[in-house]
């Protein structure tokens, strides 16, 4: 019912962080295309269900970006399943996924599952550390990952994850240059509308996270890329 390929802007909410009802209302009524619930640390069944029930009152697509098997629950429109292409730990390629499918494969509606190729580009970020990502990449390295996503794995999404820091636009351009069918997501360090516009000139979809929690006014303005 929802067409992910048309999404241009996503707000990512971290279930381990606190957001007031007032700010949540502004985020959900902001004309963003979707809300994604996701994070790296302290993602539990309890905090995911709590945030989901608060966001569910609003008529917009809701995605769970799966951080661990323990916090997965029914009730989302989509489940984004990351595979970290530059992780040096096989768990983050397909190890966790294998375990999950072994246990729950019979009960999964695969139409709701979206496989998301991740390239983590901020070594100091939590996700960089946890997944043991090799972030020391040249534009040629990144182009090869983009080809891997587009031509080999045929992934619907390639997500450049700069989490917490604003990325190198030359890298974003390099990834984009190899993509046609695969949708390019960019997340990391978008703090205001100017950042959002710059990234959105290259990427298909931008993800705005942290700034929601420390500068809601500027966070809301990033949605203006859609105008």
As annotated, the binding site includes 12, 14, 40, 159-164, 189, 209-210
Residue 123 has which token pair?
């070594």
Q: What is the largest CA-CA distance in the chain?
A: 46
Residue nearest to ligand 1GP (CB): 187
Residue 81: strand, helix, or coil: strand
**Cβ-based nearer residue to ligand 1GP, 150 or 159:** 159
The number of residues that bind ligand 1GP (CB under 6 A) is 13
104-163: contacts with ligand 1GP (CB under 6 A): 161, 163
For residue 115, give the nearest of 65, 73, 161 by alpha carbon: 65
15 lines the binding site for ligand 1GP (CB under 6 A): no
Q: Looking at 25-33, 77-85, 96-104, 188-196, which segment touches ligand 1GP (CB under 6 A)?
A: 188-196
The answer to whether the CB of 122 falls within 8 A of the CB of 163 is yes
Q: Are residues 227 and 195 in contact, defined by beta-carbon separation less than 8 angstroms?
A: no
Pairing of strands 9-13, 62-65: unpaired
**Number of other CB atoms surrounding residue 209 within 10 Å:** 22
Please, what is the minimum distance in Å from the beta carbon of residue 78 to ligand 1GP?
Answer: 16
Task: Pick the binder of ligand 1GP from 60, 207, 220, 223 (CB under 6 A).
Answer: 207
Structure tokens at 96: 């966790």
- Of 4, 8, 39, 5, nearest to 212 by C-alpha is 39
Compare residues 32 and 210 and give the one whose CB is closer to ligand 1GP: 210
Residue 129's CB is within 10 A of a number of other CB atoms, namely 13
Closest CB to ligand 1GP among residues 61, 188: 188
Q: Which of 184, 189, 205, 225 binds ligand 1GP (CB under 6 A)?
A: 189
CB of 219 to ligand 1GP, least distance (A): 9
Tell the smallest beta-carbon distance from residue 207 to ligand 1GP (Å). 4
Token pair for residue 181?
A: 């069918």
Q: Does 190 bind ligand 1GP (CB under 6 A)?
A: yes
| Tokens representing residue 90 in the block | 């096989």
Q: What is the DSSP letter of 148?
A: I
Q: Does 82 bind ligand 1GP (CB under 6 A)?
A: no
Least spacing, CB of residue 190 vs ligand 1GP, in Å: 5
- Residue ranges binding ligand 1GP (CB under 6 A): 12, 161, 163-164, 187-190, 207-211
């Amino acid at each position: 019912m929802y067409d992910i390929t048309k999404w241009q802007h996503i707000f990512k909410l971290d279930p381990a962080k606190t957001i007031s009802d007032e700010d949540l209302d502004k985020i959900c009524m902001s004309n963003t295309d979707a809300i994604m619930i996701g994070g790296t640390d302290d993602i539990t069944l309890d905090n995911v269900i709590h945030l989901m029930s608060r966001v569910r009152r609003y008529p917009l697509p809701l995605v769970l970006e799966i951080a661990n098997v323990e916090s997965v629950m029914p009730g989302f429109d989509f489940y984004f399943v990351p595979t970290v292409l530059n992780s040096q730990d096989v768990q983050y390629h397909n190890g966790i996924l294998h375990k999950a499918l072994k246990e729950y494969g019979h009960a999964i509606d695969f139409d709701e599952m979206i496989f998301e190729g991740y390239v983590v580009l901020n070594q100091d970020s939590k996700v960089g550390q946890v997944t043991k990502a090799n972030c020391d990449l040249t534009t040629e390295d990144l182009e090869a990952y983009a080809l891997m996503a587009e031509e080999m794995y045929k992934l619907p999404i390639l997500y450049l994850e700069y989490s917490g820091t604003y990325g190198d636009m030359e890298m974003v351009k390099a990834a984009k240059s190899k993509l046609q069918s695969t949708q390019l997501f960019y997340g990391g360090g978008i703090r205001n509308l100017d950042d959002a516009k710059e990234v959105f000139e290259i990427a298909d979809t931008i993800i705005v996270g942290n700034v929601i929690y420390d500068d809601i006014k500027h966070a809301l303005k990033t949605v203006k890329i859609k105008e």
